[in-house]
Amino acid sequence: MSATPASVRTPVREHVPSVLVAALSAAFGVGLLQITGFIAAAVRQDDVTGSSAMVALLLQIVAIVFIVIAVYVAAIITANTFATVVAGRARSIALLRLLGSTAGSLRQQVATEGLFVGLAGTVIGSLVGTGIAFGVGRVAVALGIVPENSYGYLDPVLILPVVGVILTTWTASWVGSRRVLTVTPLQALGGAEELSREEVVQRPGRYVLALVLVILGAGFLLLGLLIGLVNPVGVLVGLIGGIVSFTGIVFAADRVMPPALRLVGRLLGASAPARLAAENALRHPQRSSRATIGLVIGVTLLMTFGTAMTTWQQIILAAQQANPEVYQGIDQMLNATIAIFSILIGFSGVIAAVGLVNNLSLSVLQRTRELGLLRALGFSVQQLRRMILSESAQLVVTAVVLGIVLGGFYGWAGAQSMLGAINGSPGFVFPSIPWIILAVVIVGGAVLTAIASWAPTRRATRVSPITALSVE
């Protein structure tokens, strides 16, 4: 054991992923508001209908909805990362407790690191976001898409994402550092046993609540579908049902994800690397659940919009054939909306992907000793590589499949309950699959699997088998 406990050294490297997540969401928030501000300024200059104030407000509201989604995903990821970092520091936290630190002050210390992570990420992200918006604005003016205008890139509304990201990162680090309280001073004296085995906290109240939310939400969705057959107001009822039931699923993530992960793990085969990988992915059920639920949220949102839009398109095309004159020129508008919304939603998926990469790297980093053992027992470098790739695939496949199924259902329910009653609608339609988005999600998932396993594999294959023999 080294003389300096890890938490006394500056733990900068551990926080790089969290800074990245905060920077991404700040860049997204600031950049999106800058671009909408720029567009609003352009519209104002060319105000013929006198409705530019309304347009600006609507743009901002749409932008803020997407920013809130991205920041929410980022907060889940950051809380998860901090919990993992704390688990890795259990030994040095135990040592400090042994020497007389209180658990509260140690947790405070971790949360303070979270505040600095939020500050650093937001500064970097705001600068990058503004830079991108400025570049987009210049290009748009140069191409003559929008006229030169006096937008100043210092809109007061930018305070929202800036303060929002700092506060959510800080809060997320506080939530994630709860594990500090469970570390006992005795752990500093313990043997070389793995300390980070998270006890699955039983929270029956939470699961009951989750179940109630899912059932209630499903009821609303069904009601929305029925109302939708006679009146488009059904979509609002369905929207409530969607939000309520999905919140239930997120609440119950550590109940829903492990069985799903286990099932996918079994499908990956019965070789030693695949079996070990399946066990590894479930070693910390809560950690894996939180890392994958972020990606589930991203994919679900993307697929919800995609399926809703293409199902809409299908209903409208059917209606168009019945009454061609009512629905002229609506196709291009729909296509453009699908593209823009998908990109905006996709950003939350990117943030979730960072979280997953991070989860896998930390989990490999924290079991160097075990990797050394496997090497000593005769695990080849190739087998080690396959094991980590399987772990990565298991996490990604589970999240992507679950997201596709959930999103497909929500999207179809949304479109059906909104347009079931429109002029010329065929009544019930089957969900239509957004092929392009589906392809992007699947290819993205495959790329993510490879990226997530790349750095951990490099580290793992460098572990010498002697590590297993050393005594900590």
Binding site for another protein (CB under 8 A): 191-194, 197, 271-272, 275-276, 279-280, 282-283, 369-370, 373-381, 383, 464-466, 468-469, 471-472
Give the CA angle between residues 414, 257, 170 to the nearest 5°. 85
Distance in Å, CB of 374 to another protein, minimum: 7
Nearest-10 crossing angle of helices 435-461, 285-322: 160
Distance in Å, CB of 282 to another protein, minimum: 8
Residue 436: enclosing H or E segment and its boundaries? helix 435-461
Distance in Å, CB of 465 to another protein, minimum: 5
Distance in Å, CB of 380 to another protein, minimum: 5
Distance in Å, CB of 267 to another protein, minimum: 18
Closest CA to 310 of 448, 439, 170, 144: 439
Distance in Å, CB of 261 to another protein, minimum: 13
Distance in Å, CB of 177 to another protein, minimum: 24
Distance in Å, CB of 384 to another protein, minimum: 10
From residue 261, alpha-carbon distances to 303, 319, 354 in Å are 20, 42, 19
Nearest-10 crossing angle of helices 253-267, 285-322: 90
Place of tokens 């929270």: 203
- Closer of 248 and 273 to another protein (Cβ): 273
- Closer of 70 and 274 to another protein (Cβ): 274
- Closer of 163 and 469 to another protein (Cβ): 469
For residue 217, count other CB atoms closer than 10 A to its CB. Answer: 21
- Closer of 273 and 355 to another protein (Cβ): 273
CA distance linking residue 91 with residue 184, whole number of Å: 9
- Closer of 131 and 269 to another protein (Cβ): 269
Q: Provide the greatest CA pair distance for the chain.
A: 80
Give 399's contacts (C-beta < 8 A, 6+ positions apart): 292, 293, 295, 296, 299, 356
Give 108's contacts (C-beta < 8 A, 6+ positions apart): none
- Closer of 192 and 443 to another protein (Cβ): 192
CA distance linking residue 207 with residue 214, whole number of Å: 10
Enumerate long-range contacts of 209-213, CB under 8 Å, 24 or more apart: 209/248, 209/251, 210/248, 210/249, 210/251, 210/252, 210/255, 211/248, 211/252, 212/248, 213/244, 213/245, 213/247, 213/248, 213/251
- Closer of 7 and 280 to another protein (Cβ): 280
- Closer of 274 and 353 to another protein (Cβ): 274
